[in-house]
């Protein structure tokens, strides 16, 4: 088990530094987070399945090694594409045979056209130590009116005013409305929680 979860993760860093963290972590990521009781993917997939069309294409933004995609597949989503910043994480996702398509991308270059996806998910991605707060608005701008964004904010992210302001901002500027929000376990072995949040694009 690597010490990434304990020592390296929950702090702001540049995109290139983030890629290096996940590049170095990719080989042990699944064992580390599953071993720490990673509960957010199933919780986020359940809230998405409740409110979003499962027969329309979904983009798993920041798909990592595919744990979030596996939870979405188990919740009944039929067509899942994935994108991520870190090629080493994508290589592992590729081996899981969950995704229709996978490509390297980031909040600065997602490479989708508005409305391509009825639903976009970001499980553990728009977070302190991963994608920056402004990614929230970028993802919403990839959705047509009526599309959904399901995302999670873990406890360290909920304590960061920049992420809270980004969430408030997209609701206050009329881009999104809150459909559902639930607090629950994130990494049970670390005693850490997360909010899963479902937004509808207006
Ligand atoms: C905690 S992992 C979550 C992975 C997966 N969604 C899961 O639930 O296991 C965060 C992922 O976000 C990706 N990431 C970080 N910053 C990003 C950015 N700016 N754009 C796209 N992906 C990013 C990382 O490469 C990493 O795979």
The low-confidence residues of the chain, meaning pLDDT below 50, are none
Closest listed residue to residue 170, CA positions, set 122, 130, 129, 124 = 122
How is the chain split into domains, by residue range?
4-201
Does the structural domain 4-201 have CATH classification 3.40.50.150? Answer: yes
- Return the pLDDT at 6: 62
- Return the pLDDT at 106: 85
- Return the pLDDT at 11: 73
Instruction: Provide the whole-model pTM.
Output: 0.96
Task: For residue 75, give the DSSP letter.
Answer: T
- Return the pLDDT at 126: 96
Using most ligand atoms within 8 A of CB, pick from 24, 64, 92 the residue to mutate for ligand 1. 64
Cα 74 from chain centroid? 16
How many angstroms separate the CA atoms of 88 and 92, rounded? Answer: 7
- Return the pLDDT at 15: 87
Ligand 1 site residues (CB inside 6 A) read 15, 18, 22, 41, 62-64, 67-68, 84-86, 89, 106-107, 123-125, 130-131
- Return the pLDDT at 1: 57
Q: Tens digits of per-residue pLDDT, 56-76?
A: 999 999 999 999 999 999 999
- Return the pLDDT at 108: 82
């Amino acid at each position: 088990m690597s010490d990434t979860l304990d020592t390296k993760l929950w702090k702001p860093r540049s995109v290139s530094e983030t890629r290096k963290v996940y590049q170095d972590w990719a080989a042990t990521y699944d064992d580390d987070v599953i071993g720490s009781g990673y509960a957010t993917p199933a919780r986020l997939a359940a809230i998405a399945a409740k409110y979003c069309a499962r027969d329309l294409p979904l983009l798993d933004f920041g798909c990592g090694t595919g744990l979030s995609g596996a939870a979405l597949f188990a919740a009944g989503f039929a067509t899942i594409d994935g994108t991520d910043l870190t090629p080493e994480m994508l290589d592992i996702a590729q081996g899981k045979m969950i995704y229709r398509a996978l490509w390297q991308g980031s909040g600065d270059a997602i490479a989708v056209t508005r409305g391509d996806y009825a639903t976009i998910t970001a499980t553990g991605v728009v977070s302190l130590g991963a994608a920056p707060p402004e990614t929230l608005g970028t993802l919403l701008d990839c959705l047509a009116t009526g599309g959904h964004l399901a995302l999670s904010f873990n406890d360290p992210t909920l304590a960061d005013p920049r992420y809270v302001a980004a969430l408030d901002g997209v609701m206050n500027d009329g881009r999104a409305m809150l459909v559902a929000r639930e607090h629950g376990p994130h990494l049970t072995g670390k005693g850490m929680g997360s909010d899963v949040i479902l937004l509808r694009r207006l």
